[in-house]
Amino acid sequence: MSKTFKLSGIMLFSVLGLQLCRMLFGLIPLSDNISGWLFSFIMQCGFLGLFPYLLYKATIKDGNFLTDIRVKKKISPWSYPIAIVIGLLTYGINVGISGVWYIILTLLGFTYPRGGGVLFTSPEVLVFEIITSCVLPAIFEEITDRGLLLATLDDVKNDTLKVIAVGLFFGACHQNMPQLGPTAIAGVIIGFMAINSGSILPGMIVHFMNNFIITISSYVSQKNINLGIITAIDEFLFSNTLIAIGAGAACGIAVIFLLREFMRINQKYQNKDTKQDVEDTLAEIYGYHTRDTKGLPLYYTGLNNTSSNEPTIKTKKSDYILLIIAFVSAMAVTIFTYIWGLLR
């Protein structure tokens, strides 16, 4: 079996695990807060964290998990402040897309669910919500829905196709029709950053910032707290659907500009290491390392060959079958939520 096929299997089992988790928690009578926290912890740490890692270690003997999920790549330091700004703007895009998506779904007869959600009865609730809705998704969803998914698509040469695939998969994995549109757009933005930097770390920042602002916005609204300019911006965005859509479009234009700059600075940064890349390529071909763990040069002695003796298996189109099944399965649940909304 090829590595692509194995990674596709890991993605499938992760999606099926999420679906099983959702069904089980639908049967457990817990408060909205407790249920949401437990579900998030089990889903994020388990089915998007520990579970994929254990499957990876069990099935891919000659792989490096951290390298494959794209956390070891050196990127331009400017990537991080740009990611913070994109994260802030993504919230604006999210508001605008949610407005458009709401109009589309309601015109199609969909009824949005009412009630539920987090009740901020104490400051501790806010802390737990930040951990389970902001920190954990920013880490574990990026590891699986960006890192492992892009590792699965490594042999796909068309970056545009990969960006679209990552966005659609991320949207489908939320398995909720109202979230499909906004999360797919966010997935496209973060996927573009991961592909053009070779790292999921900037995407983690964007993911956290977006979710954090949503959480704080919900808290401020529910507790009727005035945070000055933050409250003013939020009231402006939600004052009118057309304003929300217009603001989202403006944020989208700004993000496009920043993404181009993000791509440019990372290409420039990576070009600085071209010479070392050539050395590393020669080292891989001839089976020896050129540097030790501290980055110091090593000289070939015949004892440094750590390359795998296993033959490389060429990726075939059929190796993506389990990934396709994972996407279809996630979309089937999403479509079911849409049908349920029509019947409500």
**How far is it, in rounded angstroms, from Cα 247 to Cα 241?**
10
Q: Which range (15-19, 76-80, 199-203, 233-237) has the least confidence?
A: 233-237
pLDDT of 286 > 70? The answer is no
Q: Residue 30's pLDDT is what?
A: 65
CA-nearest of 104, 109, 103 to 343 is 109
Backbone angles phi, psi at 291, to 5 degrees: -140, 150
Which residues are within 8 A (CB) of 227 and not within 5 positions of it... i.e. 6 or more apart? 216, 220
Q: Are 207 and 142 in contact (CB under 8 A)?
A: yes
Q: Are 175 and 330 in contact (CB under 8 A)?
A: yes
**How far is it, in rounded angstroms, from Cα 59 to Cα 192?**
28
> Structural domain boundaries of the chain?
3-272+313-343
Residue bearing the bigger pLDDT, 25 or 80: 80
Q: Where are the alpha helices (DSSP H) in the chain?
A: 3-27, 32-41, 51-59, 65-68, 79-107, 123-130, 136, 142, 149-152, 159-173, 177-197, 201-223, 229-237, 241-271, 274-286, 321-343
User: What is the tens place of the pLDDT at every residue in 195-253?
Assistant: 999 999 999 999 999 999 999 999 988 888 888 877 888 888 888 889 999 999 999 99
CA-nearest of 113, 8, 4, 2 to 327 is 8
**How far is it, in rounded angstroms, from Cα 10 to Cα 53?**
9
Residue 337 to residues 105, 324, 340: CA-CA distances in angstroms?
A: 12, 20, 5
**How far is it, in rounded angstroms, from Cα 90 to Cα 344?**
31
Residue that is written with structure tokens 């331009």 in the block: 76
Q: Are 337 and 181 in contact (CB under 8 A)?
A: no
Q: Residue 39's pLDDT is what?
A: 86
**b/e map 309-320, b = 16+ CB within 10 Å:** eeeeeebeeebb
pLDDT of 120 > 70? The answer is yes
pLDDT of 308 > 70? The answer is no
Cβ atoms within 10 Å of 141's Cβ, excluding its own: 26
